[in-house]
Chains A and B, each alone.
Chain A
Amino acid sequence: MIEVAGRLVRNAIGLAGLIFLALLIVLAIAAPIIYPGDPWRMVGSPQLPPLSPGFPLGTDALGRDVAAGVVHGARVSLLIGLVSSLCAVIIGTCLGAVSGYFGRWVDDLIMRFTEFFQTIPSFMLAIVLVAIFSPSIGSIVFAIAIVSWPPVARLVRAEFLSLRSRDFVKAAVVGGQSPLRIIFRQILPNAFSPIIVTGSLMVASAILLESALSFLGLGDREYVTWGFMIGAGRTMIRQAWWLSAFPGIAIFLTVLALNLFGQGLNDALNPRLARKGRA
């Protein structure tokens, strides 16, 4: 464990990602302190450019502070990204584990089911799901989880297939342990590292997906999110380019950081592959 952490820290790329993420999380938590109150409040003259006094990132069409929006938006994006990825990982892991462990017709059935979900155009499915359950944080998390779990399931299944034939598992079977116990106590802990790596990368794509939905107008209206800001600023792009530019930079940096972190984590957990320069 300590070895892994050590390797992670020494990996510069992963470190950079980790540092940025930490900063982001601190910013998100501290949002109500830095920019107290509602980011929706109209606090300045409309359409002030960046670097105006008091408004480093400018204001929008109604005089709302862009910087406040970006900081508060971090909370929502991170929240949605984390929760939906967690759900996707849980669903995918359960299905993949069962599929990989039991094999035969159970495997077949679950794999058909997984393939089915991978065939449907995922973005369109997400849009339809959000529309049915009316856009809200809950429905967005649900939609993202539903379209994201298949790769996790495949990964976990592959891990289970290879681990199932190992000696310690055979010993556990002979020892009379129940399948559930074997899955969760014996095999799963050994499959953790790829799951975690995939999970962290998934947070990045979840944030991208959420911002895409917000951009199209399917976001939760209560909260300022980065995607929403970009979409709202879109028609004013010629008069007020900063409305769309800054939230986009925020998304980019966050996703980049998550990818770097994920990659660093992967290298740390699989040093042999890292040496070969494999992505």
Chain B
Amino acid sequence: MKQLEFIAGRLVKAVIVLLGIVVLAFLLIRATPGDPAAVLAGEAGAVDAEFMERVRAEFGLDRPIAEQLAIYVKQIATLQFGESYRQQRPVIDLIAERLPATLLLTMTAFCIALLVGVSLGVTAARHVGRWPDMAITVMALVFFAVPLFWIGLMAILLFAVKLPWLPAFGMETVGADLTGFGAILDTARHLVLPATTLGLFYIAIYVRMTRASVIEVMDLDFVRTARAKGIPEGRIWRRHILRNALLPIVTLASLQAGHLVGGAVLTETVFAWPGVGRLAFDALLQRDYNLLLAVFIVTSALVILFNLIADLVYAFVDPRIEVGA
């Protein structure tokens, strides 16, 4: 019962936060110089003032800001995100088309980062002070410091141009019409470079977190007790150390998963990955307000969702945490 209360409370909070995001984003985006009418005018070639006025009226841009906001909020409440100015299609369709690509990219990156990061962190902790630990720590520092877009470019240069092992861009091979397993394999090949690049930074984070956590748990009394009792080392590691050390890591990591979704713009740009990050950036360049706003909101909603799930998982898994505290 308490858990239901907790969930309800969090949902209400989530809605309020979302509303705040909608208002803020709306005002911010409207404040950017230039507007969609100017874009369309520029693209249509010769225009006159009458044409611009007509376009503005069509998009409701000639009404006062407060009224536009009110209209927009009402529409959002009924899940109508409006139409893209540039593409004349419902925004929600555009996002729905691109979101799976972003989720594929970010979730893969997340999994790679978690798996690689945690294993390396555990390894480092097991050999703390000796050379594997040094090597891994240095590697983590390097991954932390390397700019994502640069390493992406270098990776493309190395793996796709100099040694043509992997595709350099996009999500599928241009011109090939693959289906079934062939298509999956093709997408997987295209996923390697972008997901790894995106994950590098997070690998570094998880390595450090895991290493610190395991080291801390390793030192605790109950582990010493278990050793004194004669329990085999392997079992100690699995049952006692890892279980207690990894839990906070996994939940902390889940909180970060949301950020991955928001931060994929760079990766999507470098690798021409057809996701929502790039969609949002293009929308900004074209002053496609509806689209940009919608991506903003959807991404924030996802972040909130991930946070909520992470909190629930954490509470569920660790009985010591009192839900709702």
Contact = CB atoms under 8 A, between A and B. Distances in A.
Q: Do chains A and B touch in the complex (CB under 8 A)?
A: yes
Interface of A: 112, 115-116, 119-124, 127-129, 131-132, 134, 204, 208, 211-212, 215-216, 227, 230, 234, 237-238, 241, 244-245, 247-248, 251-253, 255-256, 259-260, 276-279
B145 A204 contact: yes
A227 B148 CA distance: 11
B265 A123 contact: yes
B225 interface: no
Nearest to B29: A128
Contact of B149 (A119, A230, A253, A277): A230
Contact of B262 (A123, A129, A260, A279): A123
Contacts of A227: 147
B32 interface: yes
Given A230-B150, A248-B154, A276-B216, A216 B281 contact: yes
A237 B281 CA distance: 23
Interface stretch (B47-55, B87-95, B297-305, B309-317): B297-305
A276 B259 contact: no
A233 to B, nearest CB: 9
Nearest to B16: A112
A220 B258 CA distance: 30
6 contacts: A121-B261, A128-B32, A230-B149, A252-B150, A279-B208, A279-B211
B119 to A, nearest CB: 17
Interface residues on B, range: 35 or more
A125 to B, nearest CB: 8
B32 A241 contact: no
A119 B28 contact: no
Given A119-B300, A131-B284, A260-B141, A276 B219 contact: yes
A115 B300 CA distance: 12
Contacts of B60: none
A279 to B, nearest CB: 4
B269 A216 contact: yes
A215 B153 CA distance: 12
B304 A119 contact: yes
Q: Is the interface of B mostly helix, strand, loop or mixed?
A: helix
B237 interface: no
B153 to A, nearest CB: 6
A260 B33 CA distance: 41
A248 B215 CA distance: 34
A129 B28 CA distance: 7
A119 B17 contact: yes
B149 A256 contact: no
B153 A234 contact: yes
A132 B32 contact: yes
Nearest to B34: A131
Given A131-B284, A204-B145, A216-B281, A248 B29 contact: no
Given A212-B148, A245-B154, A251-B150, A121 B299 contact: yes
Given A116-B21, A279-B208, A279-B212, A128 B284 contact: yes
A115 B292 CA distance: 22
Contact of B157 (A123, A241, A277): A241
Contacts of B258: 119
Given A120-B21, A216-B269, A278-B216, A248 B280 contact: no
Contacts of B299: 121, 124
B142 A121 contact: no
B57 to A, nearest CB: 24
Nearest to B151: A248
A247 B146 CA distance: 12
B129 interface: yes
Interface string B128-171: 11000000000001101111111101101100010000000000
B259 A120 contact: no
A134 B142 CA distance: 33
A208 to B, nearest CB: 6
Given A123-B263, A238-B161, A115 B269 contact: no
B145 A278 contact: no
Contacts of B219: 276
B20 interface: yes
Contacts of A112: 17
Contacts of A260: 141
Given A276-B219, A277-B128, A279-B212, A124 B145 contact: no
